Amino acid sequence: MSANTMENKLAKYGVTEPVQRPKIKPVKQLDLDTPEGRLIVLSEAKRIMQIHVTNERQAKFTPNMENYKVNFSYEGLSLKKSGEHKSIAELKRQYAR
């Protein structure tokens, strides 16, 4: 995506120039296979589903793993490589109670 296209998209929200985020070096690795990791995934999924589900229709939201990686990088975390190639369906089966 070109810079000009991005500026046009941001201009409609009143943003004149994008903010440069600091690059934070990961200091910890987040393992989603541990009980704590499973709680993180479960709580995030519940929170997202509460936002995106209404009584009239089923959820059509599909989480994007790239968003989690970016979010964790802002907090100085990185994901372990073991769960990187799992699909959403595989993760749902793994974390189902």
Q: Which domain holds residue 64?
A: 26-95
Q: Report the amino acid identity of residue 25.
A: K
DSSP state of 16: S
Report the 10 Å Cβ neighbour count for 82.
10
HSE value, Cβ hemisphere, 13 Å, CA-based, for 66: 0
pLDDT tens for each residue of 69-81 = 888 888 888 777 7
12 domain-assigned: no
Number of structural domains found in the chain: 1
- Tell me what pLDDT residue 2 has: 58
Rg value, the chain, Cα: 17
Of 24, 34, 29, 95, nearest to 63 by C-alpha is: 95
4 domain-assigned: no
78 domain-assigned: yes
Global pTM value: 0.31
Residues 6+ apart with CB under 8 A from 59: 49, 52, 53
